[in-house]
Amino acid sequence: MPIKVSIVTTGTDFPRNSRAQWEGDIGFDYSNVSKVITVANTETSCEQAIYFADEDALTAHRTANLEKIVGLNNRRSSNSMVTVIEEEVVETIP
């Protein structure tokens, strides 16, 4: 079954722009991601839905990006960003 990972980031001026730049800077590997949807993007928060085909794809994504995820989390923290991540199994990928 597909898995949806929701990431909500709050705290600074347009956090989605910062995250996108940082992810590009560190060379995030998106080869296991099926789809990314920006649900909301405001001056002080953003929400993204990242879809994976199954648990194996999510695990492969996390394994491939482990060091990069730690670096990204450190950047968020040092820029006073708060991130909430939730996972859920979904019927389909939109």
* This prediction's pTM: 0.86
Are 5 and 27 in contact by the 8 Å Cβ rule? The answer is no
Per cent of the chain over pLDDT 90 is 48
Give 57's pLDDT tier (boundaries 50, 70, 90).
Answer: very high
The CATH number assigned to the domain holding 44 equals 3.30.70.100
Residue 39 lies in a domain: yes
Please count the structural domains in the chain. Answer: 1
* pLDDT tens sequence across 72-82: 888 888 888 88
What residue type is 75 in one-letter code? R
Residue 94 lies in a domain: no
Give 2's pLDDT tier (boundaries 50, 70, 90).
Answer: very high
Q: Count CB atoms within 10 A of the CB of residue 46.
A: 23
Q: Which two tokens stand for residue 37?
A: 């949807």
